[in-house]
Amino acid sequence: MATAGKVIKCKAAIAWEPNKPLVIEEVEVDPPQEKEVRIKVVASGLCQSDLYFLLKDMNKHLFPLILGHEAAGIVESVGKEVTEFQPGDKVIPLFISQCRECRFCKNPKTNLCEKGSVGEHDNIANSRITCKGKKVRQFMGTSTFSEYTVVNQIAVAKIDPAAPLEKVCLIGCGISTGFGAAVNVAKVEPGSTCAVFGLGAIGLAAVMGCKAAGAKRIIAVDINPDKAEKAKVLGATDFVNSKDHDKPISQVLTEMTTGGVDYSLECVGNVEVMRSALECCAPGWGVSVIVGYTNLHDITARPIQLMTGRTWKGTLFGGFKGKDGVPKMVKNYLDKKVKLDEFITHNMALDQVNDAIELLKQGKCIRTVLSVSPQ
Amino acid sequence: MATAGKVIQCKAAVAWEPNKPLVIEEIEVAPPQADEVRIKIVATAVCHTDLYHLFEGMPKDGFPAVLGHEAAGIVESVGPEVTEFQPGDKVIPLFLAQCKECRFCKSPKTNQCELGAMVGKESRFTCKGKKVLQFAGTSTFSEYIVIHQIAVAKIDPAAPLDKVCLIGCGICTGYGAAVNTAKVEPGSTCAVFGLGAVGLAAVMGCKAAGAKRIIAVDLNPDKAEKAKVLGATDFVNPKDHNKPIHEVLAGMTNGGVDYSVECVGNVEVMRSALESCLPAWGVSVIVGWTEMFDIKIRPPHLISGRTWKGSMFGGFKGKDGVSEMVKAYLDKKLQLEEFITHNMTLDQINDAIELMKQGKCVRVVMSVSPE
């Protein structure tokens, strides 16, 4: 392409400080170096994890940064020694890489990658994006609220050219995270009973995963009754609003299920809910998976909950290895085995990113897809 | 036997109140009712969970009680409808029953028999006219006990009762935590926190499962030697380091161990044991008992891939596991002698308790009745 080898000036939404609106700025995006890929971002979703770092964690030292880690785009150019990709390829950037060489990549038990697990490749010294003369951190290594971004090839997944980018961008985080939590990590079994706490995009994807895995009963739990309908569209058999009961939610669920659920998934990121999710599992074999993220507080539980046989786990990106899992999920969508359209409640342009943030903060959307660059 | 159908007057160590020495008393043991078995206890040992009840948990309605849950004996008589046992059978009482009928017994995933709760509910013991609780349904600090047949395991008649009594709790609890619950894989690296009988049994289990490296962790350097006899490759004393123990272990193991087992019963150690595991696939199993405090961890430790589990009785189903482990001992696949550091009689139980409290023994086996 005409831009190959040159710095690209383009638009991006910069987070200059924590807890402030993002600002649309012009940025300079360097050409890809060795083993890197420069991607034109076509569509990006906004995820609670972007908000977590902007509004909750608020670590000043991370700023300025460009958020966004759930996106799809087209390869604009590649650096030296890149053989896996070429300009024009449709791709999804990965916030967890898959180098295929480290001991983690070689082990089927994990999707972590030693070369580039979350946070490691967003070191500001390695950023390829500058704004007003300052390097800007490529948050999570992806920075998809930018028309162009540069990513190491170990953190890019090539996808089917037939895939509609404005839909499959969601596979870059939310859908894979929730679906995989049920299928790969909890390993929901056919005929089982599941509970999903929190019906944002991740929770709804977890409901979808429980259904795909053959669960007989999927109890969707949320404090907002408006969330019930979509949960049922995606496979939930019951809806419970914790606020409708005086009893603790774990007791409500235990009573509904003669002793507890077989699998529970926490998709909120709240330590009290994480505790309830563990406690509503059946002793003997119950498995509870933490999907929602927080590092602000401890989770707590009575040891006897584990000693009587419950298992506590957690996951990033639904346990999917990035390069392997993402193309499979895209194919599942194209084969109509995975739904995406139901998750997209709003479409906006990158310029409207702060409106999208407000909607997500208020729980008034599932996913807003931002169109970033024309295809 | 001559005593069948009659009340037996015999000796037992009664805990009248929390935090006080046990008193050797004469008690009355009622004959077994339907589905029950009366057992002459030949040998028993003290386990930390007995001490927990007496000195830490101290439930108000938990006294007076006869403690003890790790023992072996001989069936004296059986109640109506008991077909599985007959007088003379060698048996081990189970604090975790196995009814074989409930949905938990029918699932291979667990040993948490639902009907086990009925065991020991109605005591068959009285002393000085008062009902005395049968702790854990087993109450083995007594020459005779009565227990529901779902909580009794029949064992090989060749088994030496003064050794296999340990299989009634500590050995299965530790060994099973490694083999059944953690599911230690060959070639892996393990860490065992706490080197009492349960921890040493966990070390033994890690070795049996083929672990390449077993790091034994304890504040008492005297515990190192026996840990190595049972298979530990390294010993670490947290007191020898300025860094937190999980950092020490992560440093020794390229990021963390594959499996860790907590055999202390302390929530801070439980936290350290989880944090010592490798993020990607580490599994930590809680074995030590406490009901007094919560475990705590930051979510990212689980979110990055560690698994937190726990088990009771090493995940062994009571009847099946006990007879399997007794057989393993007779086939020389399991060591027991190394765990027995002292032999006493039931009369000396308070001395045994003192040794346990001070960490100066592994197991004290007390002979209760002659065989």
pLDDT for position A1:
64
pLDDT for position A77:
97
Residue B185 domain boundaries: 174-312
Alpha carbons B241 and A195: distance in angstroms, whole number: 44
In CATH, what number is assigned to the domain containing residue B261? Answer: 3.40.50.720
Say if B319 falls within a structural domain: no
Q: What is the CB neighbour count within 10 angstroms for residue B255?
A: 15
Whether B342 and B284 share a structural domain: no
Q: Where are the alpha helices (DSSP H) in chain B?
A: 48-51, 161-164, 170-176, 197-208, 224-229, 245-252, 267-275, 300-303, 318-330, 349-357
How high is the mean pLDDT of chain B?
A: 96
B320-342: pLDDT as tens digits: 999 999 999 999 999 999 999 99
B110-133: pLDDT as tens digits: 999 998 766 667 899 999 999 999
A199-237: pLDDT as tens digits: 999 999 999 999 999 999 999 999 999 999 999 999 999
Say if B62 falls within a structural domain: yes
Whether B123 and B107 share a structural domain: yes
Among partner residues A298, A304, A316, which is closest to B298 by beta-carbon distance? A298
Whether B153 and B182 share a structural domain: no
Considering the entire predicted model, what is its pTM?
0.95
B85-95: pLDDT as tens digits: 999 999 999 99
Whether B21 and B70 share a structural domain: yes
Whether B111 and B252 share a structural domain: no
Q: Is the pLDDT of residue B64 over 60?
A: yes
Whether B292 and B343 share a structural domain: no
Whether B208 and B187 share a structural domain: yes
pLDDT for position A120:
46
The amino acid occupying position A89 is D
Q: Is the pLDDT of residue A117 over 60?
A: no
Contact criterion met (CB < 8 Å) for B299 and A274: yes
Whether B151 and B223 share a structural domain: no
Whether B16 and B149 share a structural domain: yes
Please say whether the beta carbons of B368 and B44 come within 8 A. yes
Residue B104: its chain A contacts at CB < 8 A? Answer: 283-284
B209 touches chain A (CB under 8 A): no
Say if B1 falls within a structural domain: no
Say if B207 falls within a structural domain: yes
Q: Is the pLDDT of residue A350 over 70?
A: yes
Contact criterion met (CB < 8 Å) for A112 and B267: no
Say if B317 falls within a structural domain: no
Contact map slice: B 241-280 vs A, CB within 8 A: 267, 270, 279-280
B290 touches chain A (CB under 8 A): yes
Whether B302 and B180 share a structural domain: yes
pLDDT for position A199:
97
Strand B340-345 relative to strand B363-367: parallel, antiparallel, unpaired?
A: parallel
The model's confidence at residue A124, banded by pLDDT at 50, 70 and 90, is confident
| Averaged pLDDT, A172-184 | 98
Q: Which residues, at least 6 apart from A95, have a Cβ–Cβ distance to it below 8 Å?
A: A69, A118, A140, A141, A142, A155, A172, A173, A317
B52 touches chain A (CB under 8 A): no
How high is the mean pLDDT of chain A?
A: 95
Whether B79 and B207 share a structural domain: no
Q: Is the pLDDT of residue A88 over 70?
A: yes
Contact criterion met (CB < 8 Å) for B286 and A306: yes
The DSSP code sequence of A116-179 is T-TTGGG-GGG--EEETTEE-EEGGGT--SBSEEEEEGGGEEE--TTS-HHHHGGGGTHHHHHH
Say if B318 falls within a structural domain: no
Count: domains in chain B: 2
B129-167: pLDDT as tens digits: 999 999 999 999 999 999 999 999 999 999 999 999 999
A299 touches chain B (CB under 8 A): yes
Say if B112 falls within a structural domain: yes
Residue A181: its chain B contacts at CB < 8 A? Answer: none
Q: Is the pLDDT of residue B84 over 50?
A: yes
A21-69: pLDDT as tens digits: 999 999 999 999 999 999 999 999 999 999 998 998 878 888 999 999 9
In CATH, what number is assigned to the domain containing residue B51? Answer: 3.90.180.10
Whether B23 and B162 share a structural domain: yes
Say if B163 falls within a structural domain: yes
